[in-house]
Structure 1
Amino acid sequence: MTPTALIRWVAAQCLCYPDERLLREQLPLMREALAELAGPSAAPEHTRSPSSPESAGDAAAGLPAFLDHLAATPELDLAAHYVATFDSRNRRCLYLTWWTTGDTRNRGAALVAVKDFYRRYGMAGDFGGELPDFLPVMLEFAALAGDAAGTELLDGHRAGLELLRLSVEQSGSPYAAVLRAVCGTLPGPSPRTREEAKALARSGPPQELVGIDLAPAPIPASALWQKVTS
């Protein structure tokens, strides 16, 4: 994986519900991924996509401390904090189409659009029982389908993603470090205010993406979904 893909994969795991599988099985794999990112085997600078941050290490800087937080905190406390943090009533929703459509009839069309995007790259399934706009699902796709495809998907929901980051930062949750890492893989600086974040929805794709091939060869659905759910 590229540095961008590694960051997105680790973030996808971090943003899942902190159950025993995450803490016992995925946590060691996340540490290995970050070690690969920091080590000499990490992809060289010239292989990074235009979506990559100036330094992948900068984008991932807060992730090791978050993994330490997962390891040191009792599972019940982690679960309670997760539920309290990611709640649409507090405007901290992990379902990104919610930020642009709310719970209206328009959201159905937005969800179909996300599923259609996945199908372009051969991804189909029940998404582990989640909706297709669940941020961990989007991030796993972004990690596995290639940096350009992942950036196109995430940047299409940039306003909601940045609003989520700002809200979680304001809450003081450790999850803010994970969301900063995700936003750090996208082109350009992150907005500093809610007004700036909302403006992203009206500004269109960043200039860095213009002219970039965003449609690599599709990945077979069974292979991709096997990776996502393993």
Structure 2
Amino acid sequence: MTDNMMLARAWQIQSMLIGYPDENLHERADLLRQAAASLPGSVGGPLLRFLDHLAAAAPAELAAEYVATFDHRKRCCLYLTYYAHGDTRNRGMALLELKQTYAVAGLKLTDEELPDHLAVVLEYAAIDPGAGLALLVAHRAGLELLRLALHDATSPWAGILDAISATLPPLIGDQRTAVARLAAQGPPAEQVGLTPYALPHPEGVPR
């Protein structure tokens, strides 16, 4: 398996596991387990542990836990441009650029999907690993803050972020500074100029 094939497989699995745990995810759990087992331990191990949690948890309880984690915790937002731009007009432009990038790669979103949701970003990365890697690295500070927040919350989804981190280059000085600044100051907070998208509340719940 080439590096790009490994990355594409990892990101496709991670895309599914970081999404809402619906019936489709439970039905595909065995296939996802087989695919995760073929990955390097630093990437596949956390995914297999999450799949163990998926198998043991009652579906309704896991769904409720997902909502409580990602829809009601500001620091656990899955919309990556929020970390960089907050609720500002710059975020609206970033979303439009993402959607245009995806269209070129053949990834078409439904009306309900925002292009910066982590599951969507990972799906795109699996389609075009080179460009996908660059996109994930560009959002590394937000990803790291999300990873740390999930660990603080002892969330089972923390392992998914560990696996994503394991596919990326190590944090360097400027990235560490960006993570520290983001943790201390939070995203920008301008509340105007957000068209053409109706952006979600920071906790992930549309208003």
Q: Could you list the structure 1 runs, at least 4 aligned residues long, displaced by more than 4 angstroms after superposition.
A: 193-196
| Amino acid aligned to 1:116 | Q
Q: How many residues align?
A: 178
Deviation at 1:156, TM superposition (A): 1.4
Given that residues 105 and 127 in structure 2 are in contact (C-alpha distance below 8 angstroms), is that contact kept between their aligned partners in structure 1?
no
- Report what 2:132 is aligned to: 150
Instruction: Give runs of aligned pairs for residues 38-187 of structure 1, distance below 5 A.
Output: 56-87=40-71, 89-123=73-107, 125-127=108-110, 129-145=112-128, 147-187=129-169
Measured on the aligned residues, the alpha-carbon RMSD in Å equals 2.4
Q: Residues of 1 paired with 2:71 and 2:149: CA distance?
A: 11
> 1:165-205, CA deviations, whole angstroms, 9 ceiling, x for partnerless residues?
111111110110000100110112489x98552569xxxxx
Q: Residues of 2 paired with 1:89 and 1:173: CA distance?
A: 12
Q: Residues of 1 paired with 2:163 and 2:127: CA distance?
A: 17
Q: Secondary structure at the match of 1:106?
A: helix
Given that residues 159 and 199 in structure 1 are in contact (C-alpha distance below 8 angstroms), is that contact kept between their aligned partners in structure 2?
no
Structure 1 residues 85 and 158 mapped into 2: Cα distance closer, same or farther (>3 Å)? same
Given that residues 86 and 92 in structure 1 are in contact (C-alpha distance below 8 angstroms), is that contact kept between their aligned partners in structure 2?
yes
Instruction: Give TM-score scaled by structure 2 length.
Output: 0.77
Given that residues 20 and 66 in structure 2 are in contact (C-alpha distance below 8 angstroms), is that contact kept between their aligned partners in structure 1?
yes
- Report what 1:36 is aligned to: 38
Q: Residues of 2 paired with 1:148 and 1:198: CA distance?
A: 27
Deviation at 1:115, TM superposition (A): 1.5
Q: Secondary structure at the match of 1:97?
A: helix
Structure 1 residues 78 and 128 mapped into 2: Cα distance closer, same or farther (>3 Å)? farther
Structure 1, unpaired ranges of 5+ = 38-55, 201-230
Deviation at 1:127, TM superposition (A): 4.1
